Amino acid sequence: MATYQGRSLPRPAAELVDQGLVFDLGTMAARRQVLRALGLGAAALGLGACGSGDGDDKPEVTGSEPNTVGEIPDETAGPYPGDGSNGPDVLAENGIVRGDIRSSFGDSATTAEGVPMTLTLDIKDLANAGAAFAGVAVYVWHCNRAGEYSLYSQGITGENYLRGVQIAGTDGRVTFTSIFPACYAGRWPHVHFEVYPDEASITDAATAIATSQVALPKEACDKVFATTGYEASVTNLARVTLDDDNVFGDDSGASQLATVTGDPAAGYTVSLVVGVDTTTTPTGGQLTGDGAPSGAPMGSGGPGGPGGAPPSGPRPAGPPPSR
């Protein structure tokens, strides 16, 4: 006799979806037991669970799964944070709170060129069951398409482009309009960010409740770096992997690898869910050592990073920070 999941089929010659009401109710009951065991509850079982129209008998899950995002790893802010912890402090300047960070503000209006990128970070409050973290201030910064950092690198110390702050709304989301960063020697392509409790806190780097970095997927990097202006990134990317990167290498960037859609012509949308736990003590920031390649000269992708002399401000004691 034909059976399904140990039960006899009332109509062996018919499709699974045509076995009758009694059989369908038994199927639904069995699935509810499985869903309860997984903690999903009965709401996740849609009315379509009796079977799909094509006879595949696949349940339609209409509920959302529980938020399982973990805490974002703490990372160094590197030698070019611009948050006052190592020289310049762009966070104390009027105009830093902005969504479009492509241009400098203040005494310069220079615009960084490159493939367009929209960066969205969804901040989750892990101390509050992973709810949207409304009201936090998120400071983002990254290098330009030549691998240089405004405020620090030779020739652009008077610029402050590719740096900005957004305040999360009730959805915990911040969005920045920028350009796709380069890959410079010794580091996987990345974006830095710090999370502060609120806008009033951004003038003191010590109040940051999270400091981390976003890793960019290789497929998108390969396409961007094939465009004009990113030529040096092709060679640099070929010499580093997520596995051996001195920031992402501990887990190959598993919890920091962004989701990316788009193309070089239209631009890319980059997104990452960021779990922040205020019940733990932040360990990232400027004082964290990096394990940078020993003997690497300043300004060549080593501890000094790309593009010229190290910052004029005092460096903290201990190993040089990562970039």
3-state secondary structure at position 191: strand
pTM above 0.85, yes or no: no
Q: Is the pLDDT of residue 290 over 60?
A: no
| Ramachandran quadrant class, 155 (left: phi over 0; alpha: psi -120 to 50; beta: rest) | left
Q: Quick one: angle between helices 218-225 and 231-238, nearest 10?
A: 140
Full DSSP string of 197-213: SSGGGTT-GGG-SEEEE
pLDDT in tens, 255-281: 999 999 999 999 999 999 999 999 998
- Report the alpha-carbon distance of residue 233 to residue 263 in Å, rounded: 17
| Domain boundaries along the sequence of the chain | 3-50, 90-276
Kind and range of the H or E element at 238?
helix 231-238
Question: What proportion of the chain, given as a percentage, has pLDDT over 90?
Answer: 65
Mean pLDDT of the chain: 79
Quote the tokens at residue 113: 């060129």
Q: How, if at all, do strands 116-125 and 267-276 pair?
A: parallel
pLDDT at position 6 is 52
Provide mean pLDDT across the span 268-297.
70
The model's pLDDT over 217-263, given as tens digits with 9 standing for 90+, comes to 999 999 999 999 999 999 999 999 999 999 999 999 999 999 999 99
The predicted-structure confidence for 50-86, as pLDDT tens digits, reads as follows: 333 443 443 333 233 335 689 999 999 999 999 999 9
Q: Which CATH superfamily is domain 90-276 in?
A: Aromatic compound dioxygenase (2.60.130.10)
pLDDT of residue 126: 97
